[in-house]
Amino acid sequence: EDLNNPIYKIASFEINDIPLIKYVASKGKPIILSSGIATIEDIKLALETIRAEGNNQIALLKCTSSYPAPDASLNLSAITTLINQFPNAIVGYSDHSVGIRACCVAISRGAKAIEVHFTADKRLTGPDQLLSKNEQEVSEIRDFADFAVKSLGDGVKRPYTSEYQTWKTQRKGLFACRDIDVGELISYENTLLCSPPLGLSPVALEDKAQIHARINIQKGQPITKGKVYHA
């Protein structure tokens, strides 16, 4: 506190030190809570302790507490579990793996915060050099995070403006494959599914209400809404 640091980190091996967590939470500053060797029950108790102090500024990090962490031990799917179980916390990833691939996968899984060990020079001695990231790697992670935010979107499936040109030239519409008389039933037998989509969408033929020609429709013409009626 004397150093006026703006944020605290609770390491995963301290997640069951409830008096420490309570004291840190009482300072009212954001807390990064690592969950490397923690169970779901450990996490729940730690979060309850923090929030009991009126502190809701929490980033919960998925972590594997080995140095370096083998790829098979990363269990990055658990990020989804933490997001679902603790929706009121910012869920992220604390990395102990070699390289940046795990960080990129974590971001793709929805991690909103990434914590890495940093080194200015991997040729230096020290136990964490193998798993630490240098400036270039941190920059690559940041670039991937920017890409992920843009490309993952909001999850709502809908056409985008950028797809309009494809839509207006390639999507299928209904066209008469022969002359169709007034009153005649419109069906797959007297139509073609062609681009561009000038006519009705072919799914109109799947409607239980049958479609009939309101006027004579010549072969090759699009079958538009104004040319038909529902029986």
Q: 22 vs 5, 28, 31, 94, 186, CA distance in Å? A: 17, 11, 11, 22, 72
Amino acid 74: pLDDT: 96
Q: In degrees, to the nearest 5, what angle opens at C-alpha 8 toward C-alphas 5 and 13?
A: 145
Amino acid 207: pLDDT: 85
Amino acid 164: pLDDT: 92
Q: In what helix (H) or strand (E) does residue 194 lie, and over which residues does it extend?
A: strand 191-194
Whether 94 contacts 126, CB under 8 Å: no
Amino acid 208: pLDDT: 82
Amino acid 63: pLDDT: 96
Amino acid 80: pLDDT: 96
Q: How far apart are CA 114 and CA 96, in angstroms?
A: 11
Amino acid 186: pLDDT: 96
Amino acid 199: pLDDT: 87
Q: Identify the three-state secondary structure at position 95.
A: coil
Residues lower than pLDDT 50 in the chain: none
Please state the pTM of the whole predicted model. Answer: 0.80
Q: Which two tokens stand for residue 114?
A: 């990434």
Amino acid 211: pLDDT: 94
Amino acid 231: pLDDT: 82
